Amino acid sequence: MKFLKNILAFVIPLSAMLITFTLYLFAQNTVNQYKKKISNDYSIVVITNTPLIKENINKLSNINVNRIVTLKKEEIINDIKSNLSDTSIKLLRQKLPNFYKIHLEEFPTTTELNNIKDELYKNKNIRKVEIFSKNHNQVFLLLLLINEISLVLFVVILIFSILILAKQIQIWFYEHQEKIAILQLHGASILYSSSTIIKYAILSAFIAFFLVAGLFTFLVNNLILIFPQELSEIVDVEISLSSELVKLFFLSLGISILTIFGVLIKYKIKND
């Protein structure tokens, strides 16, 4: 019974930490996938008086330009010529400015879009800049907010988990201080004296990992349970199960080991 109690004292905070970390992974992955999707779809339309020298535009607001596509004038005219006379079409061919689509390597934030707009307008050849970002920004900012909230939640739970684990280790040392003192009198090192609690911590890390890994695997294979159908239509959520499980494993084991060795060092300094 005492063994189970000691194990649960480690497993519960570790599991809570890992669960919040999986939520953060889901949110981060969704943001990255949506960012990738809209980066491919999104473009900035630029209207110029004379042909644009594409080679001069490599970066905008520190974001690399993926490509610049020239919109053919004839295609633009063909879209609107049904309502125009031959004279108007002829005049339009002479007066129609140059149209370009600028594709960026990543989707910019609202601030970056404003900077891009200002940067482009510094070019006197550019007559008009259209960013068409309102709809994308609303969804993107919402996903970013969810991502930030999940990150903050994870950090808070992580801190509390470390504090709880450290407290449990300190309680164990307090309960076994006589045994530890006797072992050290016979020349035992602090690591040997505390081998029991180290085993508890490592075993608990494995148990917490397997519990949360099972839950994580189930959710990855049943994404509809956490992602509504509407979101699935907007962005394809793709999660690399193996790489994320590796992160969970090292986080679980790493936090356990770092916490216990942190307490051990503090105990050794205090009692030397």
What is the tens place of the pLDDT at every residue in 113-161?
888 888 888 888 888 888 776 656 666 777 778 888 888 989 999 999 8
pLDDT over 80 (residue 198): yes
- Which is more confident, 87 or 213? 213
Q: Give the mean model confidence (pLDDT) for residues 99-123.
A: 83
Q: What pLDDT does residue 127 have?
A: 84
pLDDT(6) > 70? yes
Q: What is the mean pLDDT of residues 19-23?
A: 90
The rounded mean pLDDT for the chain is 79
154-194 residue pLDDT tens: 999 999 988 888 888 888 777 777 776 677 666 666 667 77
Residue 209 pLDDT class (50, 70, 90 cuts): very high
pLDDT at 94 over 80: no
Can you tell me the mean pLDDT for 86-103?
75
Position with higher pLDDT, 102 vs 93: 102
According to the 3-state scheme, what is the secondary structure of the chain? CHHHHHHHHHHHHHHHHHHHHHHHHHHHHHHHHHHHHHHHHCCEEEEECCCCCHHHCCEECCEEEEEEEEECHHHHHHHHHHHCCHHHHHHHHHHCCEEEEEEECCCCCHHHHHHHHHHHHCCCCEEEEECCCHHHHHHHHHHHHHHHHHHHHHHHHHHHHHHHHHHHHHHHHHHCHHHHHHHHHCCCCHHHHCHHHHHHHHHHHHHHHHHHHHHHHHHHHCHHHCCCHHHHHHCCCCCCHHHHHHHHHHHHHHHHHHHHHHHHHHHHHHHC
pLDDT band at residue 72 under the 50/70/90 scheme: confident
Output the pLDDT for position 76: 66
- What pTM value is reported for the model? 0.70
pLDDT at 210 over 90: yes
For 214-249, how does the pLDDT look when each residue is reduced to its tens digit (9 = 90+)? Answer: 988 888 787 666 666 555 555 666 777 888 889 999
